[in-house]
Structure 1
Amino acid sequence: MSDDVRNVFVVGLNDFNRERLENLRGADGCRFHGVIDPAAVYDTEVFDIAAMLEEATAQLEAFDGNVDAIVGYMDFPVSTMLPILCERFGTRSPTLASLLKCEHKYWSRRVQKEVIPEYIPGFTAFDPFDDDALTRIGEAGLYFPFFVKPIKSSGSRLGFRIDTPEDFYHAIERLRGEIGLIADPFNTVLEQARLPDEIAAVDGHFCMAEEIIGGWQCTVEGYVFDGEVVSYGIVDSLRYPQVLSFFHYRYPSGLPDPVQAKMRELTDTVMRHIGFDNSAFNIEYFWDEVQDRIWLLEINTRISQSHCDLFEKVDGVSNQQVTIDLALGRRPDMPHRQGDYAVAAKFFYRVFFVDAVAARVPSDEEIAELEADFPGSVIALQVATGQRLSTLPEQDSYSYALAYIWMGADSAERLLEDYERLAARLTFEFDDIEG
């Protein structure tokens, strides 16, 4: 093996991502290696972080060569494992403390409040196993309606809008039954960090209650390189009418330029204050158009995998470029508007059932025909024939995403038209439908 080849280890590397990585700028000087089987981080909701850290450490120690970088693109548990692994092997990453100031939702809100208080909602932490939790939320100054979510969540899972006491107790029942799936492994990570006393008291089994915020949702994709904060793209997150479920992510953003500029300014302020460095991140915001008010929703310590194809279609390369360059100590080499399309989107093909069994899903031949008829499209089914929808991982509380569909076009209008034509040809059938 040549001395100038850089060995990059990717936690949960699958074939889909390997192909993208090998097309990045400078990838010819890299060799990509998988760490931990993809199924252990993609296709499960049970995460034994201690065992995964032990497995990853053993794999890396057994490697005959230099470990030049360790990266990942997944949210929990991968994002929280990376600083621990990188510290063990002396590769570049943010500190665990700075990462937790983003990912521990209560700590993150506390830190945000120190520098951008007018851009965050009212919030409080509460224990879902406390029978007086609703009273304590009221004592903290939060009243109906409000939103609840775990201190550490994954995707939109276990997030609920609360309009009545009945809504709250329904949410509490779900939270008590399911929060341990993330809380227990997250606590394994918290044990590795030195936390302020007021944060240590709020462990992974706690939840957040926050004022309802809303509006036009978007995500600022950025990175920090040697202390310099760079925001390189804003992606819109557009929902189905009247519900919380996402319809599609669209890039570039259609937000007014002054709103985008203010979001970049807020991003710079908060990421500098946190001390996050040498890594990618993304921050989700709302713009309340009526009040012309910006709200910071949450900070994620990674690129969004959902956006990789969008940047490739519009800018010419996946934003995985950012992650790899930073991990190797290089200033990211991201092009701008050098792709084949003016606009791109990831669509979520959904059904709004309580539950059902998929009796039929589109065949491989049908998918291939659609992708041929709509050049540039990528269709990724999320459900198999015979599968009960409630067994699908990473779903929100209101619907099931049966397929992800990436497409590009020369305008936002054409993009929607093409998607509607493609979606009309996707044939699913269901048994045992619960409405």
Structure 2
Amino acid sequence: MTRQFFVFGLAPLHCEYLNAVHGAEQYQWRKLFSDDEIVWYPDRPMRELLSEAEQTVAQCNGELAGIINHWDFPSSALHPFLCRQFGLRSASPEAVLKCEHKYWSRLEQKKALPEWIPDFCAIDPFAKDPLSQVTIDFPFWLKPVVSHSSQLGFRIENERELIQALKVIRGDVRRLGELLNTALERVSVPTEVGEVDGNWCIAEGLLKGKQCGIEGTVVNGNYYVHGIVDTVKDSRNLSFTRYEYPSVWPEYAQQKICDAGEALLRQIGFDNSAFGIEFFWDEETDDFKVLEINTRISQSHSDQFIKVHGVSNHEAALDIPLNRHTDFSNMRGDYQCAAKFMLRRYEDTTVTRIPTASEIEALQESIPGCKISILVDEGTRLSDLSSQDSYSFEVANICLGGQSQEEMLSSYRDLAAALHFEFSDGRGFEPFQFKSVRY
């Protein structure tokens, strides 16, 4: 009998990733919400989302093997509740929410690795005097207690910028905040978290240096890392420009963050789930810091794993329901390195032309393994795009592999220059997003 897996936000591209696992012919992938319903700031209450998900999964008329999540909140929070409802393996809801609630997570992280955690404090954006809540020095990074993709995140230099950022945050923070609050009602939140709920923000000291993330699983208490992915920002350190695999960090630095990841997850009581943890490393001072803990693999890394290992990182996501461990080191793909690039514009403007289908096809055929996804339409005002960070607008994704980093970066620059976009301001793509070297 075919084993059935429900997948949050299943889209056609994800089917390609899922079918790049061993024995894919034995499995059936079933959609649990579209990405529009669960990814791009859903406007539905958490209770309604959970109820619909329970009804959908209950209609499974075959062997229900598991539920796979590769998206951020709210699907990350729905996942453990659903698994508990249907007797499937997953981390506990409490452990997941300790990670998703960024303030609660920092409190737990500090218990495990106090030297790895930046100064932080909670801020109620609706307080009459939010400045009185700031207990760390300027500058700092401000973000909601629950968010993803750097949405509603701001670098704050002074009191004036804080007030301006809070005005923006107040207008949208409840969209995800209320979803988190409903989830928090179902678990026991410790008194140290206090009144800090999903509609609050967290201010954190700025992190310096290189950024990368470990991706792995905890299976029956056994901790595994299956990949380390570099997260590269533009030269102004504003927005992400690529996810590159494998990491080019030195071996000792990679080992340090892998050991740190285990300490963090054991403190949280995280078991039987996939995870991704982001770190910063200041090479000059050899100082390491934790950015955040995610409770899933990332679908943004899947193409890189296929190119380098010949299988998607969904192979690891299957380890939890199938009660196994996959060793990616024994797998070889067609490339030595791979990356997902995010092509951006940093100024608001209107798209007046996008590359045609034939142009994209010709470019993809010119470089083996190249995949180009256009994220805007002609007539799109960039400021109308959903789920963007606070400093730029993502207009295309380009996935590439290479036999060396230099070859791969050169191919990307050539492709970006060949993509025929036009914008109403008459400008092209800002050059500072194209780094010619790794760092």
Q: Which residue of 1 aligns with 2:71?
A: 74
State the alpha-carbon separation in 1 of the partners of residues 33 and 141 from structure 2.
35
Query: Is residue 229–residue 272 contact of structure 1 (8 Å, CA) maintained in 2?
Result: no
**Pair 1:423 & 2:423 matched:** no
Q: Which residue of 2 aligns with 1:41?
A: 38
Query: Is residue 41–residue 176 contact of structure 2 (8 Å, CA) maintained in 1?
Result: no
Query: Is residue 383–residue 402 contact of structure 1 (8 Å, CA) maintained in 2?
Result: yes
Select 1:329's aligned residue among 323, 330, 338: 323
Deviations 1:371-399 (A, max 9, x none): 10111011111111111111222211001
SS of structure 1 residue aligned to 2:301 = helix
State the alpha-carbon separation in 2 of the partners of residues 32 and 406 from structure 1.
24
Equivalences for residues 24-39 of structure 1 within 5 A: 24-39=21-36
Shift of 1:181: 1.3
Q: Which residue of 1 aligns with 2:381?
A: 388
State the alpha-carbon separation in 1 of the partners of residues 303 and 377 from structure 2.
24
Query: Is residue 41–residue 47 contact of structure 1 (8 Å, CA) maintained in 2?
Result: no
SS of structure 2 residue aligned to 1:92 = coil
Query: Is residue 39–residue 72 contact of structure 2 (8 Å, CA) maintained in 1?
Result: no
Structure 1 residues 229, 47: closer, same or farther in 2, change over 3 A? farther
Q: Which residue of 2 aligns with 1:414?
A: 407
State the alpha-carbon separation in 2 of the partners of residues 59 and 419 from structure 1.
41
SS of structure 1 residue aligned to 2:63 = coil
The 10-residue stretch of structure 1 (400-409 or 361-370) with the greater mean CA deviation from structure 2: 361-370
Deviations 1:70-129 (A, max 9, x none): 111110111110011111111111000001111111111111111100011011111011
Q: Which residue of 1 aligns with 2:62?
A: 65
Give, as a single letter, the amino acid of the residue that structure 1 aligns with 2:402: A
Give, as a single letter, the amino acid of the residue that structure 2 aligns with 1:226: N
Q: Which residue of 2 aligns with 1:370?
A: 363
Query: Is residue 221–residue 281 contact of structure 1 (8 Å, CA) maintained in 2?
Result: yes
Deviations 1:110-167 (A, max 9, x none): 1111110001101111101113222221xx3x11111111111121001111111111
Select 1:84's aligned residue among 81, 84, 92: 81
Deviations 1:299-341 (A, max 9, x none): 0001111111111111221101111221222223535450111
Give, as a single letter, the amino acid of the residue that structure 1 aligns with 2:420: T
Select 2:224's aligned residue among 194, 219, 230: 230
Q: Which residue of 2 aligns with 1:98?
A: 95
Equivalences for residues 93-132 of structure 1 within 5 A: 93-132=90-129
Equivalences for residues 264-303 of structure 1 within 5 A: 264-303=258-297
Select 1:15's aligned residue among 9, 12, 15: 12
Shift of 1:432: 6.3
State the alpha-carbon separation in 2 of the partners of residues 143 and 90 from structure 1.
47
Structure 1 residues 346, 68: closer, same or farther in 2, change over 3 A? same
Give, as a single letter, the amino acid of the residue that structure 1 aligns with 2:389: D
SS of structure 2 residue aligned to 1:424 = helix
RMSD, matched Cα: 1.7
Give, as a single letter, the amino acid of the residue that structure 1 aligns with 2:392: S
Q: Which residue of 2 aligns with 1:206?
A: 200
State the alpha-carbon separation in 2 of the partners of residues 430 and 75 from structure 1.
31
Unaligned runs of 5+ in 1: none
Aligned residues: 428
Q: Which residue of 1 aligns with 2:433?
A: none
Structure-2-length-normalised TM-score: 0.94
Q: Which residue of 2 aligns with 1:248?
A: 242
Shift of 1:200: 5.4
Structure-1-length-normalised TM-score: 0.95
Deviations 1:245-268 (A, max 9, x none): 112111111111111111111011
State the alpha-carbon separation in 2 of the partners of residues 280 and 65 from structure 1.
25
Shift of 1:30: 1.4
| Percent of paired sites with the same residue | 42
State the alpha-carbon separation in 1 of the partners of residues 160 and 398 from structure 2.
36
Query: Is residue 218–residue 237 contact of structure 1 (8 Å, CA) maintained in 2?
Result: yes
Structure 1 residues 189, 157: closer, same or farther in 2, change over 3 A? same
Select 1:171's aligned residue among 165, 170, 180: 165
State the alpha-carbon separation in 1 of the partners of residues 342 and 423 from structure 2.
18
SS of structure 1 residue aligned to 2:207 = coil
**Pair 1:400 & 2:400 matched:** no
The 10-residue stretch of structure 1 (52-61 or 418-427) with the greater mean CA deviation from structure 2: 52-61
Query: Is residue 343–residue 409 contact of structure 1 (8 Å, CA) maintained in 2?
Result: yes
State the alpha-carbon separation in 1 of the partners of residues 31 and 268 from structure 2.
30
The 10-residue stretch of structure 1 (371-380 or 324-333) with the greater mean CA deviation from structure 2: 324-333
Structure 1 residues 125, 80: closer, same or farther in 2, change over 3 A? same
State the alpha-carbon separation in 2 of the partners of residues 427 and 48 from structure 1.
41
Select 2:299's aligned residue among 273, 294, 305: 305
Give, as a single letter, the amino acid of the residue that structure 1 aligns with 2:60: F
The 10-residue stretch of structure 1 (65-74 or 326-335) with the greater mean CA deviation from structure 2: 326-335
